[in-house]
């Protein structure tokens, strides 16, 4: 079990990440790629991603074990609520001090990864050793491999990943407005339990993390599964990465045939009203339609890939997907970090 000790000062400094973190999603997706569980959500994604890879998985497996500890420096933190995009994350990774790399890869070896040479080649086996020696060429190779892996396995699905995280943020934000940080922590996924002043979570090892007035960044993640993740080094900025709710499998944003149904002033007004998130009752009040009509419009918009719906207590909360947001903003492009 993980126990995060939260003081009154820490509670006032609990905050939500503003968007998905490209580095966390990249590393955690590599765990999901090799995991046979969660086939409903990840099965199709695994098949498509594996077909795009060109040897990246073999090299990454030398530095990211199938389970357990992986080096903290692979998922750098800026210390604030704005997560790194891919480019900034890679630059932060490149700037990691050699001493830290040596120490963290030393932990990797002591935790049983990977001390043996994979069959069919020698390069992946020596990568951790070369990185631990502080040589720049292996670090550049690792960064290039991570970029190639991200392009193959994460980037095509980024709009879906971002929509999932934004939907989770909407739910947590509503909880924060309704009941403050206490309510926010109480609404985290079921593997995380707020028993003030301790936030408990299912975890593969027994561990205590003292925030000591630094607060806590909550980072929802599409590819996190089963249990949350924290840095091993307690001196790093406290971050709790936890899994979002998965209403569906990842897919590239595609308007498809449903956009043909998106006509008329009423439905456009419904889409605009959902911009900052709302329940079905709020949607009905904002647009001046009946509750049943608001629910039906939201259903069509959801089927069109423009809206996501998550349950929040006895209500449901509607939020825009990146495609929906782009549509009401005049077709602005969906950016990938």
Per residue, what are the HEC states of the chain? CEEEECCHHHHHCEEECCCCCHHHHHHHHHHHHCCCCCHHHHHHHHHHHHHHCCCHHHHHCCCCCCCCCCCHHHCCCCCCCCCCCHHHHHHHHHCCCHHHHHHHHHHHHHCCCCCCCCCCCCHHHHHHHHHHCCCHHHHHHHHHHHHHHHHHHCHHHHHHHHHHHHHHHHHHHHHHHHHHHHHHHHCCCCCEEEECCEEEECCCCCEEEECCCCCEEEEEECCCCCCCECCCCCCCCCEEEEECCCCCCCCCCCCHHHHHHCCCHHHHHHHHHCCCCEEHHHHHHHHCCCHHHHHHHHHHHHHCCCEEEEEECCEEEEEECHHHHHHHCCCCCCCCC
Give residue 255's pLDDT.
Answer: 44
Residues 176-204: tens digit of each pLDDT: 888 899 999 999 988 999 999 999 999 99
Residues 316-326: tens digit of each pLDDT: 888 888 778 77
pLDDT at 125 over 60: no
Question: Does residue 197 have a cis bond before it (omega within 30 degrees)?
Answer: yes
What is the pLDDT confidence band of residue 21, given thresholds at 50, 70 and 90? Answer: very high
Q: Please, what is the average pLDDT of the chain?
A: 82
**Which of 131, 148, 155, 132 is CA-nearest to residue 58?**
148
User: Whole-model pTM above 0.85?
Assistant: no
Give residue 242's pLDDT.
Answer: 95
Contact 231, 209 (CB under 8 A): no
pLDDT at 277 over 90: no
Q: Which of 53-57, 98-102, 147-151 has the highest mean pLDDT?
A: 147-151
The answer to which of 72-81, 120-129, 237-246, 303-312 has the lowest mean pLDDT is: 120-129
pLDDT at 110 over 60: yes
End-to-end, the C-alpha distance of the chain in Å comes to 34
Contact 310, 317 (CB under 8 A): yes
Residues 233-266: tens digit of each pLDDT: 999 999 999 999 876 555 544 444 444 455 467 7
Query: Which residue in the block uniquely carries the two structure tokens 């109480």?
Result: 186
Q: Which residue has the higher pLDDT, 103 or 108?
A: 103
Query: Which residue in the block uniquely carries the two structure tokens 């629910």?
Result: 295
Percent of the chain with pLDDT over 70: 82
What is the pLDDT confidence band of residue 117, given thresholds at 50, 70 and 90? Answer: very low
The answer to which of 51-60, 68-77, 275-284 has the lowest mean pLDDT is: 275-284
CA–CA separation, 12 and 213 (whole Å): 9
Can you tell me the mean pLDDT for 223-228? Answer: 91
pLDDT at 52 over 70: yes
Contact 270, 315 (CB under 8 A): no
């Amino acid at each position: 079990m993980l126990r995060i000790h939260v003081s009154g000062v820490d509670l006032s400094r609990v905050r939500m990440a503003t968007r998905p973190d490209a580095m966390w999603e990249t590393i955690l997706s590599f765990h999901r790629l090799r995991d046979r569980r969660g086939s409903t959500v990840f099965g199709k994604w695994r098949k498509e991603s594996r077909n795009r890879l060109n040897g990246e998985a073999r090299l990454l497996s030398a530095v990211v074990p199938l389970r357990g500890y992986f080096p903290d420096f692979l998922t750098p933190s800026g210390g604030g609520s704005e997560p790194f995009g891919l480019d900034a994350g890679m630059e932060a990774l490149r700037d990691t001090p050699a001493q830290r790399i040596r120490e963290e890869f030393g932990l990797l070896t002591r935790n049983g990864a990977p001390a043996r040479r994979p069959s069919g080649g020698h390069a992946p086996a020596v990568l951790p050793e070369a990185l631990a020696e502080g040589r720049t060429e292996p670090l550049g190779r690792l960064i290039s491999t991570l970029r190639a892996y991200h392009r193959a396995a994460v980037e095509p699905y980024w709009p879906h990943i971002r929509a999932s995280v934004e939907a989770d943020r909407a739910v947590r934000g509503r909880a924060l407005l309704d009941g403050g940080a206490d309510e926010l922590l109480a609404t985290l996924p079921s593997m995380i339990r707020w028993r003030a002043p301790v936030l408990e979570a299912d975890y593969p090892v027994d561990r205590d993390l003292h925030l000591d007035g630094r607060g806590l960044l909550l980072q929802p993640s599409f590819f996190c599964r089963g249990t949350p993740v924290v840095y091993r080094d307690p001196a790093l900025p406290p971050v709790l990465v936890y899994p979002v709710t998965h209403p569906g499998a990842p897919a590239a944003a595609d308007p498809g045939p449903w956009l043909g149904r998106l006509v008329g002033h009423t439905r456009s007004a419904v889409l605009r009203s959902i911009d900052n998130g709302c329940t079905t009752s709020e949607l009905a009040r904002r647009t001046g339609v009946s509750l049943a009509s608001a629910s039906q419009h939201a259903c069509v918009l959801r089927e069109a890939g423009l809206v996501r719906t998550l349950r929040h207590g006895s209500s449901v909360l509607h939020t825009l997907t990146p495609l929906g947001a782009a549509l009401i903003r005049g077709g602005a492009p969906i950016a990938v970090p």
